Chain A
Amino acid sequence: MLKQTEGSRAVAEAVAMCRPEVICAYPISPQTHIVEALGEMVKDGTLSPCEFINVESEFAAMSVAIGSAAAGARSYTATASQGLLFMAEAVYNASGLGLPIVMTVANRAIGAPINIWNDHSDALSQRDSGWLQLFAETNQEALDLHIQAFRLAEELSLPVMVCMDGFILTHAYERVDMPTQAQVDAYLPKYVPRQVLDPGEPVSIGAMVGPEAFMEVRYLAHAKQMEALELIPSYAAEFKSVFGRDSGGLTHTYRTEDAETIIVAMGSVLGTIKDVIDEMREEGHKIGVLGITLFRPFPLARVRESLQGAKRVVVLEKSMAVGLGGILSTNVRMALSGLHMHGYTVIAGLGGRAITKKSLHGLFRQAGQDALEPLTFLDLDWNMVNKQLEREKAHRRSGPVAENLLRDVGVVAARNY
């Protein structure tokens, strides 16, 4: 049924239709609305049987999810930003133990400096944690991916992170097609755990493993993740047959058939990029975009196949590897090894900096003329940067960077429009 609703609310309703048995969460903006709504559904009995556990921290949230998943309960949690970092040790444990937890990450920057706005730094910091990572382009895709995530997690016995842009998606009211309970039930079978703590048939989960078998356990985790590359396209196809729409899969391409320039990106910025591509296509530019839906495991073969006909590839990402450049672009580069083409990395939208059509037009035109630096920071204020660099040259005790820059700009209320 079509409805106009908030992204968080839509995800909460979709998660509820997946019939989770344990939801544990510690509220951190911008995912708070999701678990709030689920908490209300548990309390009023709409979501039953389900236990909602308020915990004292994100570390506890993931630890509880590990326990409940090990006990055979379908388990869900959500977090963002510093919350994800705070649970990091347990995040690795969940995947290392092979427990099929589904977690929403409402993507946000990581401090310092403190910043509550959107980028992909949080999820990408956990890229090697052993979790599968899916990125949603719209609220529709976000809710659809959650339904697919439970299926995927439980089949592989691996945890899945569904990433959606914090605020930009979580707080946006837009049209979504809510599935029916019957559709979700038809798509998502009952959870049959591959391992379970059962007093009737006791086992231990979480043994210490020494050098004699540790590498083999790690290898198996890798091999299992790689199975997702086969499973995901078939799950997406099946999803289409039940729900009637394309959602999920490894990647999405848009107008790439004859494209000389292909942009690569993840998440909600793909929408803005598509609008720019339509406008540039009308002017005769051969340009398209490849959206990465599955970031872990990284679909190397699919990415290579989608990009190999292009003259140049521009990876636009809301994350950065300090001291290297891009994170997504490093992954894309690996998919392109041996191919001769221009490759550009563009860091954009960090900490909620708006990515505008106007800036993208300028950027893509520059790229089309191969006039782009290998590493570009979109809309960086060089005056601000240079002023601070001069300050540091002039005075040894030049003061904290963030405070200096804020003093230079002047704090402007509600400036982001």
Chain B
Amino acid sequence: MFQVRIHGRGGQGVVTAAEMLSVAAFDEGRHAQAFPSFGSERMGAPVVAFCRIDDREIRLREPIMEPDAIIIQDPTLLHQVDVFAGLRKDGYILINTSKTFDQLGLGDMVRDWRQERLCTVPAMELALKHVGRPVPNVPLLGGFAAVAGVLRLESVIKAIGERFSGKVAAGNIAAAKEAHAIVKAEMDEARRKETQHA
């Protein structure tokens, strides 16, 4: 089973992102379960959503406490919420930011982690560029397809098409593709550096 936890703020499409991940996994013939962390959601308040992906029926109903991957839609949460709680070393981290892990003050935490699993993507900018709205959730899913390798970009694109239509769908697909390319380039760069060190 692969477990993803998504952190963001009310209004950023956190719950939608988890649902779309589950739809993408379903489209690949897998079992998936997406659910929000329930609370009194408000615009701007910290929100968490979860997605489990497996090859067999998922019966487990507990919140995801030990995720394999974390998607952070809003980097200001780093100072407010323990977003990395339960993430094991060498888990996957994808952050919506144009900064590096060092610039975010996370350099020490992940110093000896597998660098190709630590990615950032300026999802907010991509959303503004392609969709015209500051909603980073969908581009991050494109990036996620690159980093964790559990879902294909094509499935994410298909899920976007099922959720949105017209211009919004087209914009989000373009943003997801660009995010995917950015993350993939980052990973390749990290692998290249690691090979040099070896």
Q: Which residues of B contact A414 (CB under 8 A)?
A: 7, 37, 39, 45-48, 81
> Which of A174, A271, A352 has the most chain B CB atoms inside 10 A of its CB?
A174
Q: Judge whether B32 and A173 touch: CB under 8 Å.
A: yes
Q: Which of chain B's residues have a CB closer than 8 A to the CB of A3?
A: 26
- Number of chain B residues close to chain A: CB under 8 A: 36
Residues of A within 8 A of B (CB): 2-4, 6, 30, 116-118, 167-168, 171-175, 268-272, 274-275, 352, 354-357, 413-414, 416-417
Does the CB pair B45–A413 fall under 8 Å? yes
CA distance A271 to B63 in the complex (A): 13
**B50 contact set on A, CB distance < 8 A:** 417
B191 to chain A, nearest CB (A): 31
Known A168-B35, A173-B35: A417·B63 in contact at CB below 8 Å: yes
Which residues of B have CB within 8 Å of A356? Answer: 62, 65
Q: Of A6, A117, A172, A417, which contacts B64 at CB under 8 A? A: A417
Task: Kindly list chain B residues whose C-beta atoms are within 8 Å of the C-beta of A172.
Answer: 33-35
Tell me the complex Cα distance, A417–B62, Å.
9
A30, A173, A357: the one contacting B60 at CB < 8 Å is A357
Asked whether A173 lies within 8 Å of B45 as measured between CB atoms, the reply is no
**B40 on interface, CB distance cutoff 8 Å:** yes
Closest CB in chain A relative to B62 CB, distance in Å? 5
Give chain B interface residues in 73-89, CB to chain A under 8 Å: 80-81, 85-86
A140, B83: Cα distance in complex, Å: 32
Q: Which among B23, B25, B38 is the interface contact of A116 at CB below 8 angstroms?
A: B38
> A417–B31 contact, CB under 8 A?
no
Cβ-defined partner of A417 (8 Å) among B25, B61, B85 = B85
CB < 8 Å neighbour of A4 from B23, B38, B62: B23
- B contact residues around A275 at 8 Å (CB): 59-60
B89 CB to nearest chain A CB (Å): 19
Could you list 16 further interchain pairs (A-B, Cβ under 8 angstroms) beyond the known A271-B60, A414-B39?
A: A3-B26, A4-B22, A4-B26, A167-B36, A168-B35, A173-B19, A173-B23, A173-B34, A174-B22, A271-B58, A272-B59, A355-B62, A356-B62, A413-B81, A417-B48, A417-B85
User: Nearest Cβ in chain A — how far from B174, in angstroms?
Assistant: 24
B5 within 8 A of A: yes
In this complex, which of B35, B36, B40, B62 has the most chain A Cβ atoms within 10 angstroms of its Cβ? Answer: B62
Interface residues of B in 142-182 (CB under 8 A from A): none
**Known A-B contacts A116-B38, A413-B80; A173 and B22 likewise in contact (beta carbons under 8 Å):** yes
Shortest CB-to-CB span from B172 to chain A, Å, is 18
User: 10 tightest CB-CB pairs across the interface, nearest first?
Assistant: A271-B59, A4-B26, A173-B34, A167-B38, A172-B35, A414-B46, A417-B63, A413-B46, A356-B62, A173-B22
Contact B65 A417 (CB under 8 A): yes
Most buried by A among B19, B22, B33, B61: B61
For the A-B complex, the count of residue pairs with Cβ-Cβ distances under 8 Å equals: 92
Residues of chain A within 8 A of B35, CB atoms compared: 167-168, 171-173
5 sampled A-B residue pairs with Cβ under 8 A:
A168-B35, A174-B22, A174-B32, A268-B61, A417-B63
A272 touches which of B38, B45, B62, B65 (Cβ 8 Å): B62
Across the two chains, which residue of chain A brings its CB closest to B20? A173
Q: Once the chains bind, are A357 and B62 in contact (CB under 8 Å)? A: yes
CB distance from B23 to the nearest CB of A (A): 5
Q: Looking at the assembled complex, report how far the CB atom of B3 sits from the nearest CB atom of chain A, in whole angstroms.
A: 11
Distance of A417 Cα from B70 Cα, bound (Å)? 13
Alpha-carbon gap, A61 to B77, bound state (A)? 42
Q: Which residues of A contact B61 (CB under 8 A)?
A: 168, 268-269, 271-272, 355
Report the Cα distance A370→B32, complex, angstroms. 37
Q: How far is the CB of B19 from chain A (nearest CB, A)?
A: 5
Least Cβ–Cβ distance between B11 and chain A, in angstroms: 14
Is the pair B19, A6 in contact by a Cβ cutoff of 8 Å? Answer: yes
Q: Which of B7, B26, B37, B59 has a CB less than 8 Å from the CB of A416?
A: B37
| Most-contacted residue by chain A among B31, B40, B60, B64 (CB, 10 A) | B60
Please, which residues of chain B bring their CB within 8 A of the CB of A413?
45-46, 80-81
Contact B46 A354 (CB under 8 A): no
List, in ascending order, chain B residues with CB within 8 A of A417's CB.
Answer: 5, 37, 48, 50, 63-65, 85-86
Per the bound structure, the CA–CA distance linking A399 and B110 in Å amounts to 46
Whether B26 lies near A175 (C-beta < 8 A) is: yes
Complex Cα spacing A168 to B65, Å: 16
Residues of B within 8 A of A2 (CB): 26
B62 near A171 with CB under 8 A, answer: no
Minimum C-beta distance from B91 to chain A (A): 14
Complex Cα spacing A270 to B86, Å: 24
Using A175-B31, A413-B81 as known contacts, say yes or no to A354 and B62 having CB atoms under 8 A apart.
yes
A67 to chain B, nearest CB (A): 34
Complex formed: what's the CA distance from A289 to B45 in Å? 39
Residue contact A416 to B38, C-beta cutoff 8 Å: yes
Query: Closest residue to A117 on the B side, CB-wise?
Result: B38
Closest CB-CB distance, A117 to chain B, in whole Å?
Answer: 6
